[in-house]
């Protein structure tokens, strides 16, 4: 009996040895794989989101960034909407409103869904001001991804296309001042000329205003895409000049001491225009946001304008000098990665 079990043990020895060898090999392989670390992404590269999109607006909410943009060429039946927690990896989402179908009125033309501006108001809700059919519509939602609805009970446009027939009633942008007062800026020109910028203070509900309070506050060299930025008590009205289909498109700014101006064109304006090598072509219709005390300009640039207009989203740092002038943006192909704030 003893002899037999000894024999079996002898037979088992090489097997044990083989298993041991395999275990050691496996551990070494695992260690090797652990040593091959994933490359650490340290930059947000342009284009920020693959694909053809324009006129970006961005909100931050509960650890995520939400981007809303025009689908190129010339808008779609809906907006392009994206969600990200690091501004590098994006997931496309779909929201129920605005659609071309839901935002069509007796005063609309055939233009598609364009140029959103989304903002979170004092009441915590989100409001969207968006151009559809060359008029401005207002929507509201509890969450950046909806459900959204036309905030006007009669489902009519917020700014009708025929309000000022000599100008283009598009490109709305909301701004909430430090005292809590909200304003809406909007306006462009027709046939690429004579762009005008209008402002109206919004009522506390964010979805109504007094028509008698509308003012034309057009700053120097304005065409469209207003964006208001307030810093150290100065109001920086930023906007685009030129034709958004070619290299003449650029970002300018003027400063004033109230949301209404009066405006003086800023030093260094235009601050962002077509670069010498044209990698940045016709940049414009931007938004500005601040993360960890750094301002960023988030805009579109032309990728292709041969047969049709295809634009893509780009980001660069936006900086000021000691006198408060905005410095010219020299496109860097992106920015260093930032952490959510
Ligand atoms: O995307 C359509 C139009 O192009 C926008 O309304 C303009 O600002 C220009 O970017």
Rounded to 5 degrees, what are φ and ψ at 217? -125, 35
Are residue 326 and residue 183 in the same domain, yes or no? yes
The overall average pLDDT reported for the chain is 93
Are residue 201 and residue 133 in the same domain, yes or no? yes
pLDDT tens across 55-88, in order? 999 999 999 999 999 999 999 999 999 999 999 9
Q: Does residue 290 carry a pLDDT above 60?
A: yes
Are residue 301 and residue 189 in the same domain, yes or no? yes
Write down the catalytic residue from 55, 72, 173, 241.
55
Are residue 153 and residue 188 in the same domain, yes or no? yes
Is residue 305 in a domain?
Answer: yes
Are residue 320 and residue 192 in the same domain, yes or no? yes
pLDDT tens across 170-214, in order? 999 999 999 999 999 999 999 999 999 999 999 999 999 999 999
Contacts of residue 79, Cβ cutoff 8 Å, sequence gap at least 6: 68, 69, 70, 71, 95, 98, 113, 116, 130
Can 55 be counted among the known catalytic residues? yes
Q: Measuring CA to CA, how many Å separate 209 from each of 40, 152, 153, 171?
A: 49, 12, 15, 17
Are residue 88 and residue 129 in the same domain, yes or no? yes
Q: Please report the pLDDT score of residue 16 as a whole number.
A: 61
Q: Does residue 38 carry a pLDDT above 70?
A: no
Are residue 58 and residue 27 in the same domain, yes or no? no
315-341 mean pLDDT: 96
Is residue 48 in a domain?
Answer: no
- The residue to mutate among 70, 109, 308, having the most atoms of ligand 1 within 8 angstroms of its beta carbon, is 70
Is residue 293 in a domain?
Answer: yes
**How many angstroms from the chain centroid is the CA of residue 149?**
21
**Dihedral sign from CA coordinates of 111, 117, 121, 125:** positive
Residues recorded for the chain: 341
- Give the C-alpha separation, 310 to 61, whole Å: 29
Are residue 95 and residue 195 in the same domain, yes or no? yes
What is the residue range of 81's domain? 53-332
Going by DSSP bridges, is the β-strand pair 294-304/284-291 parallel, antiparallel, or unpaired? antiparallel
Are residue 58 and residue 171 in the same domain, yes or no? yes
Task: Give percent above pLDDT 90 in the chain.
Answer: 87
Nearest to 283 by CA among 262, 299, 263, 307: 299
Is residue 136 in a domain?
Answer: yes
Is residue 339 in a domain?
Answer: no
Are residue 18 and residue 111 in the same domain, yes or no? no
Range of weakest confidence among 51-55, 58-62, 90-94, 274-278: 274-278
Are residue 15 and residue 157 in the same domain, yes or no? no
Q: Which two tokens stand for residue 178?
A: 């430090």
Indicate the DSSP class of residue 24: H
Is residue 224 in a domain?
Answer: yes
Largest Cα span, the chain: 110
Q: Does residue 29 carry a pLDDT above 70?
A: no
Is residue 44 in a domain?
Answer: no
Domains held by the chain: number: 2
Is residue 268 in a domain?
Answer: yes
Q: Please report the pLDDT score of residue 269 as a whole number.
A: 98
Looking up residue 321, the CATH number of its domain turns out to be 2.115.10.20
- Between the CA of 322 and the centroid of ligand 1 the distance, in Å, is 33
Contacts of residue 84, Cβ cutoff 8 Å, sequence gap at least 6: 64, 65, 67, 90, 91
Q: Please report the pLDDT score of residue 25 as a whole number.
A: 55
- Give the C-alpha separation, 82 to 204, whole Å: 28
- Between the CA of 86 and the centroid of ligand 1 the distance, in Å, is 27
45-54 mean pLDDT: 98
CB 126 within 8 A of CB 158: no
**If DSSP codes are grouped into helix, strand and coil, which group holds residue 165?**
coil
Write down the catalytic residue from 72, 135, 140, 224.
224
Are residue 70 and residue 203 in the same domain, yes or no? yes
């Amino acid at each position: 009996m003893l002899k037999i079990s000894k024999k079996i043990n002898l037979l088992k020895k090489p097997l044990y040895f083989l298993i041991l060898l395999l275990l050691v090999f496996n551990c070494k392989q695992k260690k090797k794989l652990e040593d091959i670390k994933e490359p650490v992404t340290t930059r947000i590269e342009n284009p920020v989101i693959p694909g053809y999109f324009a006129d970006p607006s961005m909100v931050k909410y509960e650890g995520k960034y939400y981007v809303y943009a025009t689908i190129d060429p010339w808008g779609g039946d809906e907006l392009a909407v994206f969600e990200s927690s690091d501004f590098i990896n994006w997931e496309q989402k779909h929201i129920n409103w605005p659609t071309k179908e839901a935002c069509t009125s007796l005063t609309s033309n055939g233009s598609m869904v364009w140029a959103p501006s989304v903002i979170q108001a004092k009441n915590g809700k989100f409001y969207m001001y968006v151009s559809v059919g060359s008029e401005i519509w207002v929507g509201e939602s509890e969450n950046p991804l909806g459900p959204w609805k036309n905030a006007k009970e009669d489902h009519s446009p917020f700014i009708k296309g025929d309000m000022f027939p000599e100008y283009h009633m598009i490109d709305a942008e909301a701004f909430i001042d430090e005292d809590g007062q909200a304003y809406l800026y909007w306006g462009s020109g027709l046939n690429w000329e004579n762009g005008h910028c209008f402002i109206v203070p919004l009522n506390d509900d964010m979805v109504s205003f007094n028509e008698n309070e509308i003012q034309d506050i057009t700053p120097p060299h304005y065409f469209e895409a207003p964006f208001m930025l307030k810093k150290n008590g100065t109001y920086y009205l930023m906007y685009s000049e030129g034709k958004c289909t070619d290299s003449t498109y650029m970002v300018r700014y003027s400063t004033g001491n109230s949301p209404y101006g009066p405006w003086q064109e800023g030093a260094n304006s235009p601050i962002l225009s077509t670069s010498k090598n044209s990698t940045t072509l016709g940049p414009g219709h931007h938004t500005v946001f601040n993360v960890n005390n750094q301002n960023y300009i988030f805009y579109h640039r032309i990728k292709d304008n041969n047969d049709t207009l295809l634009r893509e989203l780009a980001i660069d740092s936006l900086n000021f000098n000691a006198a408060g002038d905005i410095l010219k943006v020299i496109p860097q192909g992106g920015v260093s990665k930032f952490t959510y704030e």
